[in-house]
Chains A and B, each alone.
Chain A
Amino acid sequence: MALLEIKNLHAEIDGKKILNGLDLTIERGKVHAIMGPNGSGKSTLAYVLAGKPDYTVTEGEILFDGESILDLAPDERAAKGMFLAFQYPLEIPGVATMNFLRTALNSQRKKRGEGELSTPEFLKRVRETAAKLNINPDMLKRAVNVGFSGGEKKRNEVLQMALLEPRIAVLDETDSGLDIDALKIVADGVNRLRSPDRGFVVITHYQRLLDYIVPDVVHVLSKGRIVKTGGKELAHELEANGYAEFQAEAAE
Chain B
Amino acid sequence: MDITILGQQLLGYIPLGDIVLYLAPLNLFMFASTLAFTTIIAISKTETQVEADFGTLKDKEVKVDQKEFKIRRFLAIVCGLATAGAMITGDLFNFILFVCLIGIVNIGIVAAVKQVDVLDAAFQYGLVAMIAVLPLFGGAAMILASAGTISLLEIVNIPTTFMMLFGSLLLFIGVAGETGVAPFYATKAEMFRTPGSPFLLIIHLSSLLVIVRVIEILLIINKPF
Answer yes or no: do A and B interact.
no
Q: Which residues on B are within 8 Å of A, measured CB to CB?
A: none
Q: Which positions in A face B, CB cutoff 8 Å?
A: none
